[in-house]
Amino acid sequence: MDRVTDYESGGWRFKSSWARFEISKMINIHRMEDASRHEYFMRHAIVEAEKAVEKDEVPVGAVIVYENRIIARAHNQRELLNDPTAHAEMIAITQAADYLQNWRLTGTTMYVTLEPCAMCAGALVQSRIDTLVYGTVDKKAGACTSVMNLVQEPRFNHRLKVIPNILAVESKYLLQNFFLENCRAK
């Protein structure tokens, strides 16, 4: 199974009325304050995380935004694909690169519900994403502020702006509830 096909290579098939609805929402996004804009896009990442729960995957969702438009959206698919690299961030980066036809994702912002791990943080640096906005911290494996900070390492040739704790309560709740339910099922 190909990672990108689920979302039509970052460009989704919309019914014409839905596309017009999305365009009208984009126009209003330009006028939003930063905090409201971050919450708006983080809610889309949370929707992706909820899709992961439905597939019995760890509920992490990510979207990548370019010029106030979502160009990639993904959720964890490690179990589905039997792929340890199928994190939401990695899949979204692949989709965004396909959409922009460039591996350099300059001018983009990633919204993800959980602080990225070392693998995903490295991919964020390598893909040249400008800004990372995440929901809740990962005290065990977070590589953007909590355990280590790879995305702002001064020895690297690229550093990201990091905005933590956007809709952190909602993001944390999804994760806690998922693991609580899995413990009860065993």
DSSP structure class, residue 74: E
Q: Choosing from 8, 22, 33, 89, which is the catalytic residue?
A: 89
Distance in Å from the first CA to the final CA of the chain: 29
Q: Which helix (H) or strand (E) holds 184?
A: helix 168-185
Measured CA to CA, the distance from residue 40 to residue 94 in angstroms comes to 22
State the virtual CA torsion across 129, 134, 139, 142 in degrees, nearest 10: -10
**What distance lies between CA 66 and its chain's CA centroid?**
13
Q: What is the DSSP string of 104-115?
A: --TTEEEEEEE-
Active site residue 89: yes
* Closest by Cα among 9, 108, 112, 101 to 68: 108
CB atoms within 10 A of CB 129: 26
Residue ranges of the alpha helices (H) in 30-150? Answer: 34-54, 78-81, 88-100, 118-126
List, by residue number, the catalytic residues. Answer: 89
